[in-house]
Amino acid sequence: MSKMFAPERRKIIMEKLYASQRVTIKELSEEMDVSEATLRTDLTKMEEEGLLKRTHGGALLVEDLENETRFSSREKKNKEEKSLIAKQALELITNSQCIMLDASSTALELAKLLKEMRIQLTVVTSGINTALELNEHPDITVILLGGIVKRGSYSLEGSLGVSILDKIHIDLMFTSANGFSLEAGLMDFSVYEVELKKAMVKASKKVVALLDHTKINKHSIASFASIDDIDIIITDCDLPKDYRGKLEEKQIGIMTVEPGFNDCGC
């Protein structure tokens, strides 16, 4: 059997789950040329991380995770916390900057605040809703990255628009994620969107992670930024001293919004 590393196997498993909501070990073994014993170990570990539900002979996509892939569901979730995080992020933005906003619901909350401000900016975004939100502002130039429109969402994915990032100087990138850990950094559930976000991170001078308490210590399918790529984390989570210390060792600034006492499972 050909050698395939665990992250590669798990990406394929999640892609198949998103496509058909269920997988069988037998089918995966035949398609991936991997032993059934190895796949059982993978599925057990992925269930522990909340990515799927084990069944006899296979696995199902967790309903909550399926809902999280749809923007309408994500936008409604923890809306108050996202609004507080967006207000805190606003303090980092100054006149005449070029900033990047991903397609997350938290970045959209930030766009809604910018829409009401008297400020001159260039905003680069992969979010269709975010672009439309800012489009009528007289002093904000909006650049929408090209790509494939993600079904059930208002985001673009793929690398079709990446070349434009070579021509733009990005002062700050504001991004959220489906999950964050010290080991894997920022993670998301779409392999294709991850590739675009990797390019966005690389093109930015500084990266600001907007993470409500449900994202901390949560795993997802693929990483798009390591903790070495992150400059600032804004969260509503009261991070434990040792966890905060590990972030500060990496010279990551931590901004905690009030009340800042949500449980993040650290």
pLDDT in tens, 145-200: 877 776 656 667 666 778 889 889 999 999 999 899 999 999 987 777 788 899 99
Q: Could you give the CA distance from residue 182 to residue 68 in angstroms, rounded to a whole number?
A: 22
Q: Domains of the chain by range and CATH?
A: 6-68 (1.10.10.10), 71-256 (3.40.50.1360)
Supply the pLDDT for residue 63: 59
Q: Could you give the CA distance from residue 265 to residue 181 in angstroms, rounded to a whole number?
A: 11
What mean pLDDT comes out for the span 26-35?
A: 92
What percent of the chain clears pLDDT 90, i.e. is strictly above it? 56
pLDDT in tens, 71-84: 444 444 567 899 99
Supply the pLDDT for residue 235: 95
Supply the pLDDT for residue 1: 45
Q: Is the pLDDT of residue 90 over 60?
A: yes
Q: Could you give the CA distance from residue 57 to residue 40 in angstroms, rounded to a whole number?
A: 9
Average of per-residue pLDDT values in the chain: 86
**Binning pLDDT at 50, 70 and 90, where does residue 135 land?**
very high
pLDDT in tens, 6-16: 888 888 888 78
Q: In this predicted structure, which of 37-41, 52-56, 131-135, 139-143 has the lowest mean pLDDT?
A: 52-56
Cis check: omega of the bond before 240, within 30 degrees of 0:
no
